[in-house]
Structure 1
Amino acid sequence: MLSVAALVVALLTLVLAVVALRRTQRSRGGGADALPEDVRGLRQEVAALKREAGDALRHLAVVRYDAFGDMGGHLSWSLALLDDGGHGVVVTSIHGRSEARTYAKNISGWTCEQQLSPEEDEAISHARP
Protein backbone atom coordinates (compact mmCIF):
# COMPACT_ATOMS: atom_id res chain seq x y z
CA MET A 1 0.00 0.00 0.00
CA LEU A 2 2.86 2.34 0.82
CA SER A 3 4.45 1.73 -2.60
CA VAL A 4 1.19 2.66 -4.37
CA ALA A 5 1.01 5.91 -2.40
CA ALA A 6 4.65 6.68 -3.30
CA LEU A 7 3.91 6.04 -6.98
CA VAL A 8 0.90 8.38 -6.89
CA VAL A 9 2.98 11.12 -5.24
CA ALA A 10 5.75 10.67 -7.85
CA LEU A 11 3.28 10.92 -10.74
CA LEU A 12 1.65 14.00 -9.21
CA THR A 13 5.09 15.62 -8.83
CA LEU A 14 5.92 14.83 -12.46
CA VAL A 15 2.66 16.36 -13.70
CA LEU A 16 3.27 19.52 -11.67
CA ALA A 17 6.82 19.79 -13.03
CA VAL A 18 5.59 19.52 -16.62
CA VAL A 19 2.92 22.17 -16.02
CA ALA A 20 5.50 24.50 -14.44
CA LEU A 21 7.90 23.97 -17.36
CA ARG A 22 5.21 24.80 -19.91
CA ARG A 23 4.26 27.97 -18.03
CA THR A 24 7.90 29.03 -17.92
CA GLN A 25 8.27 28.48 -21.67
CA ARG A 26 5.10 30.47 -22.40
CA SER A 27 6.23 33.34 -20.19
CA ARG A 28 9.56 33.48 -22.04
CA GLY A 29 7.88 33.37 -25.42
CA GLY A 30 8.76 29.69 -26.02
CA GLY A 31 10.63 28.26 -28.99
CA ALA A 32 14.14 28.90 -30.27
CA ASP A 33 13.66 32.68 -30.32
CA ALA A 34 13.48 32.69 -26.52
CA LEU A 35 16.99 31.27 -26.16
CA PRO A 36 19.58 33.40 -24.43
CA GLU A 37 21.98 35.24 -26.72
CA ASP A 38 24.97 33.08 -25.76
CA VAL A 39 23.07 29.89 -26.71
CA ARG A 40 22.19 31.37 -30.11
CA GLY A 41 25.84 32.29 -30.58
CA LEU A 42 26.93 28.76 -29.73
CA ARG A 43 24.46 27.32 -32.22
CA GLN A 44 25.84 29.57 -34.96
CA GLU A 45 29.39 28.55 -34.07
CA VAL A 46 28.51 24.84 -34.20
CA ALA A 47 26.85 25.33 -37.59
CA ALA A 48 29.99 27.06 -38.90
CA LEU A 49 32.19 24.23 -37.60
CA LYS A 50 29.97 21.67 -39.33
CA ARG A 51 30.34 23.55 -42.62
CA GLU A 52 34.13 23.64 -42.23
CA ALA A 53 34.31 19.94 -41.32
CA GLY A 54 32.78 19.05 -44.67
CA ASP A 55 35.97 20.25 -46.38
CA ALA A 56 38.27 18.29 -44.07
CA LEU A 57 40.09 15.26 -45.47
CA ARG A 58 38.45 12.88 -43.04
CA HIS A 59 37.59 9.88 -45.21
CA LEU A 60 40.65 7.73 -45.65
CA ALA A 61 41.59 4.17 -46.49
CA VAL A 62 44.81 2.28 -47.13
CA VAL A 63 45.16 -0.76 -49.37
CA ARG A 64 48.40 -2.73 -49.10
CA TYR A 65 49.45 -5.22 -51.76
CA ASP A 66 52.30 -6.88 -53.61
CA ALA A 67 52.90 -4.95 -56.83
CA PHE A 68 55.16 -7.66 -58.25
CA GLY A 69 54.62 -11.40 -58.07
CA ASP A 70 58.18 -12.19 -56.95
CA MET A 71 58.02 -9.91 -53.88
CA GLY A 72 56.07 -10.45 -50.69
CA GLY A 73 55.29 -8.48 -47.58
CA HIS A 74 52.64 -6.16 -49.05
CA LEU A 75 55.15 -3.30 -49.28
CA SER A 76 53.22 -1.37 -51.94
CA TRP A 77 50.20 0.70 -50.88
CA SER A 78 47.52 3.11 -52.03
CA LEU A 79 46.11 5.75 -49.68
CA ALA A 80 42.90 7.69 -50.36
CA LEU A 81 42.40 11.01 -48.49
CA LEU A 82 39.00 12.56 -49.27
CA ASP A 83 36.49 15.07 -47.93
CA ASP A 84 32.72 14.63 -47.64
CA GLY A 85 32.22 15.47 -51.34
CA GLY A 86 34.80 12.96 -52.54
CA HIS A 87 37.44 15.57 -53.32
CA GLY A 88 41.05 14.92 -52.38
CA VAL A 89 43.93 12.74 -53.44
CA VAL A 90 44.98 9.12 -53.78
CA VAL A 91 48.67 8.47 -53.15
CA THR A 92 50.30 5.23 -54.31
CA SER A 93 53.74 3.89 -53.51
CA ILE A 94 55.03 0.98 -55.61
CA HIS A 95 57.94 -0.87 -54.01
CA GLY A 96 60.31 -2.88 -56.16
CA ARG A 97 63.54 -4.70 -55.30
CA SER A 98 65.82 -1.71 -55.70
CA GLU A 99 63.52 1.32 -55.68
CA ALA A 100 60.16 2.72 -54.69
CA ARG A 101 58.07 5.10 -56.78
CA THR A 102 55.30 7.30 -55.43
CA TYR A 103 52.39 8.72 -57.41
CA ALA A 104 49.56 11.11 -56.52
CA LYS A 105 46.29 11.55 -58.40
CA ASN A 106 43.64 14.20 -57.83
CA ILE A 107 40.16 12.94 -56.98
CA SER A 108 37.07 15.04 -57.63
CA GLY A 109 33.57 13.82 -56.84
CA TRP A 110 34.83 10.29 -56.08
CA THR A 111 36.30 9.97 -59.60
CA CYS A 112 39.64 10.68 -61.26
CA GLU A 113 40.48 12.04 -64.72
CA GLN A 114 43.47 9.68 -64.87
CA GLN A 115 43.07 5.94 -65.00
CA LEU A 116 43.15 4.37 -61.54
CA SER A 117 44.76 1.07 -60.67
CA PRO A 118 42.48 -1.54 -59.09
CA GLU A 119 44.15 -0.89 -55.73
CA GLU A 120 43.61 2.88 -55.99
CA ASP A 121 39.99 2.32 -56.93
CA GLU A 122 39.61 -0.04 -53.96
CA ALA A 123 41.11 2.55 -51.58
CA ILE A 124 38.62 5.17 -52.79
CA SER A 125 35.74 2.71 -52.41
CA HIS A 126 36.80 1.88 -48.83
CA ALA A 127 37.11 5.58 -47.96
CA ARG A 128 33.63 6.37 -49.23
CA PRO A 129 31.07 6.56 -46.40
Structure 2
Amino acid sequence: MLAAVSLLVALVALLLAVVGLRRTRSASPRQAVDALPEDVHGLRQEVAALKTESADALRHLAVVRYDAFGDVGGHLSWSLALLDDAGHGVVLTSIHGRSDARTYAKNITGWTSEQQLSPEEEEAIAHARP
Protein backbone atom coordinates (compact mmCIF):
# COMPACT_ATOMS: atom_id res chain seq x y z
CA MET A 1 0.00 0.00 0.00
CA LEU A 2 2.85 2.40 0.91
CA ALA A 3 4.60 1.60 -2.36
CA ALA A 4 1.46 2.42 -4.35
CA VAL A 5 1.05 5.80 -2.62
CA SER A 6 4.73 6.60 -3.19
CA LEU A 7 4.37 5.71 -6.88
CA LEU A 8 1.29 7.92 -7.18
CA VAL A 9 3.08 10.88 -5.56
CA ALA A 10 6.06 10.38 -7.88
CA LEU A 11 3.80 10.34 -10.95
CA VAL A 12 2.06 13.55 -9.85
CA ALA A 13 5.47 15.22 -9.30
CA LEU A 14 6.62 14.09 -12.73
CA LEU A 15 3.44 15.42 -14.32
CA LEU A 16 3.88 18.81 -12.61
CA ALA A 17 7.52 18.96 -13.75
CA VAL A 18 6.54 18.26 -17.37
CA VAL A 19 3.81 20.92 -17.29
CA GLY A 20 6.25 23.45 -15.80
CA LEU A 21 8.87 22.63 -18.41
CA ARG A 22 6.38 23.12 -21.25
CA ARG A 23 5.33 26.50 -19.88
CA THR A 24 8.94 27.59 -19.63
CA ARG A 25 9.68 26.52 -23.20
CA SER A 26 6.56 28.15 -24.62
CA ALA A 27 7.41 31.56 -23.14
CA SER A 28 9.33 33.81 -25.53
CA PRO A 29 12.72 35.16 -24.41
CA ARG A 30 11.23 38.67 -24.30
CA GLN A 31 8.45 37.47 -21.95
CA ALA A 32 11.07 35.84 -19.75
CA VAL A 33 13.03 39.11 -19.54
CA ASP A 34 9.88 41.11 -18.83
CA ALA A 35 9.05 38.73 -16.00
CA LEU A 36 12.37 39.44 -14.25
CA PRO A 37 12.48 41.82 -11.31
CA GLU A 38 13.02 45.52 -12.00
CA ASP A 39 16.57 45.38 -10.58
CA VAL A 40 17.67 43.23 -13.51
CA HIS A 41 16.59 45.92 -16.00
CA GLY A 42 19.18 48.23 -14.42
CA LEU A 43 21.89 45.92 -15.75
CA ARG A 44 21.84 47.68 -19.11
CA GLN A 45 22.83 50.94 -17.43
CA GLU A 46 25.53 49.15 -15.46
CA VAL A 47 26.96 47.55 -18.63
CA ALA A 48 26.98 50.93 -20.38
CA ALA A 49 28.85 52.47 -17.44
CA LEU A 50 31.41 49.65 -17.52
CA LYS A 51 31.97 50.15 -21.26
CA THR A 52 32.59 53.86 -20.65
CA GLU A 53 35.06 53.11 -17.85
CA SER A 54 36.93 50.50 -19.89
CA ALA A 55 37.44 52.85 -22.85
CA ASP A 56 40.65 54.14 -21.20
CA ALA A 57 41.99 50.64 -20.55
CA LEU A 58 44.98 49.49 -22.59
CA ARG A 59 43.09 46.60 -24.12
CA HIS A 60 44.15 46.71 -27.76
CA LEU A 61 47.51 45.04 -28.17
CA ALA A 62 49.62 43.39 -30.79
CA VAL A 63 53.15 42.03 -31.01
CA VAL A 64 55.29 41.94 -34.14
CA ARG A 65 58.44 39.79 -33.98
CA TYR A 66 61.23 40.20 -36.51
CA ASP A 67 64.95 40.00 -37.22
CA ALA A 68 66.39 43.50 -36.81
CA PHE A 69 69.78 42.52 -38.25
CA GLY A 70 70.68 40.08 -40.99
CA ASP A 71 73.29 38.24 -38.88
CA VAL A 72 70.88 37.56 -35.96
CA GLY A 73 68.01 35.16 -36.59
CA GLY A 74 65.16 33.71 -34.57
CA HIS A 75 62.87 36.76 -34.59
CA LEU A 76 64.27 37.92 -31.23
CA SER A 77 63.42 41.60 -31.81
CA TRP A 78 59.85 42.71 -31.21
CA SER A 79 57.46 45.68 -31.12
CA LEU A 80 54.47 45.68 -28.78
CA ALA A 81 51.58 48.13 -29.12
CA LEU A 82 49.42 48.74 -25.99
CA LEU A 83 46.52 51.06 -26.81
CA ASP A 84 43.11 52.12 -25.54
CA ASP A 85 39.93 52.58 -27.60
CA ALA A 86 40.99 56.07 -28.78
CA GLY A 87 44.43 54.87 -29.91
CA HIS A 88 46.33 56.39 -26.98
CA GLY A 89 49.06 54.37 -25.35
CA VAL A 90 52.60 53.21 -26.00
CA VAL A 91 54.68 51.12 -28.38
CA LEU A 92 57.53 49.20 -26.79
CA THR A 93 60.32 47.94 -29.02
CA SER A 94 63.22 45.66 -28.17
CA ILE A 95 66.03 45.40 -30.72
CA HIS A 96 68.11 42.29 -30.16
CA GLY A 97 71.63 42.30 -31.57
CA ARG A 98 74.43 39.78 -31.35
CA SER A 99 76.07 41.43 -28.32
CA ASP A 100 73.33 43.59 -26.79
CA ALA A 101 69.64 44.43 -26.72
CA ARG A 102 68.06 47.87 -26.62
CA THR A 103 64.55 48.77 -25.59
CA TYR A 104 62.58 51.83 -26.71
CA ALA A 105 59.20 53.28 -25.71
CA LYS A 106 57.23 55.71 -27.87
CA ASN A 107 54.03 57.52 -26.91
CA ILE A 108 51.05 56.98 -29.19
CA THR A 109 48.22 59.51 -29.43
CA GLY A 110 45.30 58.95 -31.77
CA TRP A 111 46.98 55.95 -33.41
CA THR A 112 50.08 58.00 -34.39
CA SER A 113 53.28 59.21 -32.75
CA GLU A 114 55.23 62.45 -32.84
CA GLN A 115 58.39 60.33 -33.00
CA GLN A 116 59.47 58.45 -36.10
CA LEU A 117 57.98 54.94 -36.08
CA SER A 118 59.66 51.93 -37.60
CA PRO A 119 57.69 49.80 -40.08
CA GLU A 120 57.38 47.09 -37.40
CA GLU A 121 56.00 49.59 -34.87
CA GLU A 122 53.48 50.83 -37.43
CA GLU A 123 52.52 47.23 -38.14
CA ALA A 124 51.99 46.54 -34.43
CA ILE A 125 49.73 49.60 -34.16
CA ALA A 126 47.78 48.52 -37.25
CA HIS A 127 47.26 45.03 -35.84
CA ALA A 128 46.14 46.43 -32.48
CA ARG A 129 43.58 48.74 -34.09
CA PRO A 130 40.04 47.29 -33.89
Instruction: Count how many residue pairs are aligned between Structure 1 and Structure 2.
Output: 102
Instruction: State the match for 1:92 in structure 2.
Output: 93
Tell me how far 1:41 sits from its aligned partner. Answer: 3.2
Tell me how far 1:44 sits from its aligned partner. Answer: 2.1
- Secondary structure of 2:74 counterpart: coil
Distance (Å, rounded) in 1 between the aligned partners of 2:73 and 2:44: 53
Instruction: State the match for 1:102 in structure 2.
Output: 103
Instruction: State the match for 1:82 in structure 2.
Output: 83
Tell me how far 1:54 sits from its aligned partner. Answer: 1.2
CA RMSD of aligned residues (A): 2.4
Instruction: State the match for 1:61 in structure 2.
Output: 62
TM-score (norm 1): 0.70
1:111 and 2:112 are equivalent in the alignment: yes
Tell me how far 1:43 sits from its aligned partner. Answer: 2.4
Tell me how far 1:57 sits from its aligned partner. Answer: 1.0
Tell me how far 1:47 sits from its aligned partner. Answer: 1.2
Tell me how far 1:40 sits from its aligned partner. Answer: 4.3
Instruction: State the match for 1:51 in structure 2.
Output: 52
Q: Deviations over 1:6-55 (max 9, x none)?
A: xxxxxxxxxxx89xx7xxx8xxxxxxxxx954134322221110101211
- Secondary structure of 1:63 counterpart: strand
Write out the 4+ residue segments of structure 1 that deviate beyond 6 Å after TM superposition: none
Q: Deviations over 1:108-129 (max 9, x none)?
A: 0000000001100110011111
Q: Deviations over 1:56-104 (max 9, x none)?
A: 1111111001111111000000000111110110000000111111000
Which letter does structure 2 place at the counterpart of 1:52?
A: E
Distance (Å, rounded) in 1 between the aligned partners of 2:57 and 2:88: 10
Which letter does structure 2 place at the counterpart of 1:81?
A: L
- Secondary structure of 2:63 counterpart: strand
TM-score (norm 2): 0.69
Gaps of 5+ in 1: 1-16, 26-34
Instruction: State the match for 2:22 in structure 1.
Output: none
**What is the percentage of aligned positions where both structures have the same residue?**
85
- Secondary structure of 1:72 counterpart: coil
- Secondary structure of 1:80 counterpart: strand
Distance (Å, rounded) in 1 between the aligned partners of 2:64 and 2:40: 44
